[in-house]
Structure formats: structure tokens, C-alpha cells
């Protein structure tokens, strides 16, 4: 039996600390592990050797700063995770290993009015197909990350009252997918997962605090504070779309008037171009036409950016993030959207907060949420499950 403070329990804790650091980063040199964990270089070297013998990690030669080094990652045989992302009109699934390598990924359209049951039927089939494509046995799946639009109650996993995916009202996506697969499922909203995806794989790498702004059928923000997603006690942190811009403005789905969402979300702005561009216009097409110089689409994108910037300025004043990442279809507009956001931030944010802010487009595009779902599954898995029972050892 291990007792608190004993050498065996301390050794076990150090093993898990190293595994946790490698799992979070995907791969690290031994020097990086020492800096991240606070362990000595000699202790890290011994632990890495032990983990390699256990089959938990793989060690490969690499270089760092022009010098030879050893890169440590979790073993490709240690298991895989699955990411599932339900959007307004799509389903995307990805399979990845514990070394942050995406093994298979696929997306397909989905009817926004479909029931939750129909959506999960599709997801089950797509997961099975991708596991087969990747040559992975189902028994190797150690966790599933699930993303859905709208707020999620962090305690119960129940989805809040939505205007998006109305057939899912009152459902518990976590319990539903767990019952179907027999695998532990972790669920979060799409904006939080977009933030997590960009933090691990994209434009947020190296940052410890950021906000990911997703503009699609709704408007949301995923907040990262000290390297962790901040959800709030009820899971509704980041609902930037319901900041009031005009008390006499259009009625929002939340019941208030003039919310940021009513000036920026697709279902509110696309009708502005109906007469000139027809009923089949999408935000993706608006952004494409704006980049090609279409004056009407360019005007709409600039206006959206200006309104988003007002909300971002409030985030800066409250949280003072070092980085804002623009996601969703609007990110493809580049400086057409970023410039007016920057102008509004400069006008409404506290100068010290505005000076410290880096504003960038997301690097992952439509993949941000499903990769965030993979990252969620990776973060939520226990470190101990990667370690077999260990013999007594000294620190």
C-alpha cells in the first residue's frame, strides 16, 4: 500500500506529472519536460526511461536550438481518442492518437432540423468508418470529445434551450453518446472547443490566456484563462453574442433587443443581401465575394467586424486577454474583418489592454471544433490509466 508522502507515492506522482505534461503538449523534449514539471533533468531522464520500458512513451531523436535532443511523446499504441462536432449544418468526426496526430477525419452535411437520435445515428456510422479507415480497433478508444452548438450545463451535460438544432432541446448529448458507444464522453459547446483546438494546434499555441470568437449561426466566445477553458459555474461563460449594442435594436432569440448577435450572426445579416444576391447566399459565400471585391458583401463583412470589435473591447476591459482569435467563416475574410475589429477595440478598449492585445485569424478553419473535441478527450483522460501497476522505486 502506498501512503501519502512515501517515496513510492511521490514517484507515482512524478510519473503522472510527466505523462500529463507530454499529453498536454503532444511531444516535448526532456529539457522542456523538466521546465514544465519543475523536476530535475536527472529525474526526468530516469522517468522517461521507465515510461519507455512500460510502453507508455516513445522517444525519438530531434534537435532544439541547434543541439541534439530527445523528443518524448505518448506511445501510438497507448490508445486513441475520437472527436465529434455537430454544427448548424454539418457533422465532423476525427480520430487521433495520444501524440496529437490526427489519423482520420471526415465531415458531412446534416439537416439542422434532424432529431438528436438521427444525428447520433449518423455520428455512430461515421465513427465506425473512420476507425476502420485508420485501422484502429474500437477497444483502443479511451475517450470521446463531443461538441454541440449552444450552452451546456457543466454538471448535468444537458444542452440549454436552443434556437440552433431545435430537435435537440432538453437532450443530454453526453449520456446519449455514452450509452451508444460504451465509451466515456466529454461534452462542451462549439466555441469552447474552437478555443481549445486553436490553443493546442492552431493560432493559440504558446498563449495561456485568449478568447476565440466564433461567428456563425450564432456568436460565441471560448475563453482560456491560465491555459484552461473557463466555463463559469453554469457553463454559459463566453456568451458574447448577447452583449447589448442597441436597446432599441432587433429582438434577439434570447428575448432582449439589440444583442451583438442580431448585428453579426448569419441569419440576421444574410437577409440584407437577399435582394442583390438571392436566397441561396451563405456566410462562406459572402466572405468569398468580399475577398473578390463585391461591394455589398464587403460592406456587410466590415460592419460585422466593427460590431464584433465592440464586443471584443468589452472582453479586453474585463479579462485583458493577450490574444483574440477570430474563428468560423468570418476568419477567412482576413484583414477585411480584422481591420474594423481592431479599429473598434482601439476606440472602446482601455488603452493598456488594447496595446497588449494580439488579434489574429484562426489557423484551423472549420476543423477547430473537432480538433478541440479531440483535445478535450485528451485533457479529461486520467494520467493513471496510461500507467500499468508499478514496482516499488525510489525517486
Cα separations (Å) of 301 from 50, 185, 195, 204, 210?
Answer: 55, 37, 22, 24, 23
Judged by DSSP in three states, 145 sits in strand
Residue 227 and residue 93 share a domain: no
Of the candidates 75, 90, 107, which is a domain's last residue? Answer: 75
Question: Residue 329 sits in which domain range?
Answer: 203-363
Judged by DSSP in three states, 115 sits in coil
Angstrom distance (rounded) from CA 22 to CA 43: 15
The pLDDT, as a whole number, for residue 394 is 37
* Mean pLDDT score of the chain: 88
Residue 319 and residue 215 share a domain: yes
Q: Does any domain span residue 395?
A: no
User: Which neighbouring-strand residues pair with 69?
Assistant: 62
Q: Does any domain span residue 394?
A: no
DSSP label of 147: E
The answer to whether the CB of 44 falls within 8 A of the CB of 352 is no
User: Which string of b and e fits 235-261 if b means at least 16 CB within 10 Å?
Assistant: bbbbbbbbbebeeeeeebbeeeebbbb
Residue range 133-141: average pLDDT? 92
Of the candidates 55, 75, 95, which is a domain's last residue? Answer: 75
Residue 336 and residue 288 share a domain: yes
Residue 73 reports pLDDT greater than 90? no
**Tens-digit pLDDT profile for residues 195-221:** 999 999 999 998 999 999 998 878 899
DSSP label of 110: -
Share of the chain above pLDDT 70, in %: 91
Q: Which three cell numbers stand for residue 22?
A: 507530454
DSSP label of 87: -
Angstrom distance (rounded) from CA 210 to CA 225: 7
Residue 69 and residue 86 share a domain: no
Judged by DSSP in three states, 228 sits in strand
The pLDDT, as a whole number, for residue 327 is 93
The pLDDT, as a whole number, for residue 346 is 95
**Tens-digit pLDDT profile for residues 293-315:** 999 999 999 999 999 999 999 99
Please count the other Cβ atoms lying within 10 Å of the Cβ belonging to residue 169. Answer: 13
Give the total number of structural domains in the chain. Answer: 3
Domain of 319: which CATH number?
Answer: 3.30.420.40
The answer to whether the CB of 257 falls within 8 A of the CB of 248 is yes
Please count the other Cβ atoms lying within 10 Å of the Cβ belonging to residue 320. Answer: 15
Angstrom distance (rounded) from CA 6 to CA 284: 59
Residue 346 and residue 224 share a domain: yes
Q: Which three cell numbers stand for residue 329?
A: 467563416
**Tens-digit pLDDT profile for residues 18-38:** 988 888 888 889 999 999 899
Q: Does any domain span residue 279?
A: yes
Residue 213 and residue 181 share a domain: no
Amino acid at each position: 500500500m502506498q501512503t501519502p508522502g512515501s517515496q513510492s507515492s511521490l514517484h507515482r506522482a512524478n510519473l503522472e506529472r510527466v505523462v500529463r505534461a507530454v499529453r498536454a503538449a503532444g511531444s516535448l523534449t526532456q529539457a522542456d519536460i523538466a521546465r514544465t514539471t519543475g523536476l530535475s533533468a536527472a529525474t526526468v531522464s530516469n522517468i522517461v526511461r521507465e515510461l519507455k520500458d512500460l510502453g507508455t512513451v516513445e522517444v525519438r531523436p530531434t534537435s532544439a536550438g541547434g543541439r541534439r535532443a530527445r523528443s518524448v511523446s505518448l506511445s501510438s499504441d497507448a490508445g486513441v481518442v475520437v472527436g465529434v462536432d455537430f454544427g448548424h449544418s454539418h457533422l465532423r468526426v476525427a480520430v487521433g492518437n495520444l501524440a496529437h496526430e490526427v489519423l482520420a477525419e471526415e465531415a458531412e452535411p446534416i439537416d439542422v432540423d434532424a432529431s438528436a437520435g438521427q444525428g447520433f445515428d449518423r455520428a455512430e456510422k461515421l465513427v465506425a468508418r473512420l476507425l476502420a479507415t485508420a485501422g484502429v480497433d474500437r477497444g483502443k478508444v479511451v475517450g470521446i470529445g463531443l461538441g454541440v452548438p449552444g450552452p451546456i450545463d457543466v454538471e448535468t451535460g444537458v444542452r440549454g434551450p436552443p434556437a440552433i438544432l431545435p430537435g435537440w432541446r432538453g437532450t443530454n448529448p453526453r449520456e446519449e453518446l455514452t450509452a451508444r458507444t460504451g465509451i466515456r464522453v466529454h461534452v462542451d459547446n462549439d466555441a469552447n472547443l474552437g478555443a481549445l483546438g486553436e490553443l493546442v494546434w492552431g493560432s493559440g499555441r504558446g498563449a495561456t490566456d485568449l478568447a476565440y470568437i466564433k461567428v456563425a449561426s450564432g456568436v460565441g466566445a471560448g475563453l482560456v484563462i491560465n491555459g484552461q477553458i473557463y466555463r463559469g459555474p453554469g457553463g454559459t461563460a463566453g456568451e458574447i453574442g448577447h452583449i447589448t449594442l442597441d436597446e432599441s435594436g432587433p429582438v434577439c432569440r434570447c428575448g432582449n433587443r439589440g444583442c451583438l448577435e442580431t448585428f453579426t450572426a448569419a441569419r440576421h445579416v444574410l437577409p440584407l443581401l437577399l435582394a442583390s444576391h438571392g436566397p441561396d447566399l451563405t456566410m462562406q459565400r459572402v466572405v468569398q465575394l468580399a475577398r473578390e471585391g463585391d461591394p455589398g458583401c464587403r460592406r456587410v463583412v466590415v460592419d460585422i467586424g466593427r460590431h464584433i470589435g465592440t464586443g471584443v473591447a468589452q472582453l479586453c476591459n474585463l479579462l485583458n486577454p493577450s490574444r483574440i482569435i477570430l474563428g468560423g467563416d468570418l476568419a477567412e475574410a482576413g484583414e477585411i474583418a480584422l481591420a474594423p475589429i481592431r479599429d473598434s477595440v482601439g476606440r472602446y478598449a482601455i488603452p493598456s489592454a488594447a496595446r497588449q492585445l494580439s488579434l489574429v485569424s484562426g489557423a484551423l478553419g472549420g476543423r477547430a471544433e473537432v480538433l478541440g473535441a479531440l483535445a478535450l478527450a485528451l485533457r479529461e483522460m486520467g494520467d493513471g490509466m496510461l500507467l500499468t501497476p508499478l514496482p516499488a522505486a525510489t525517486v
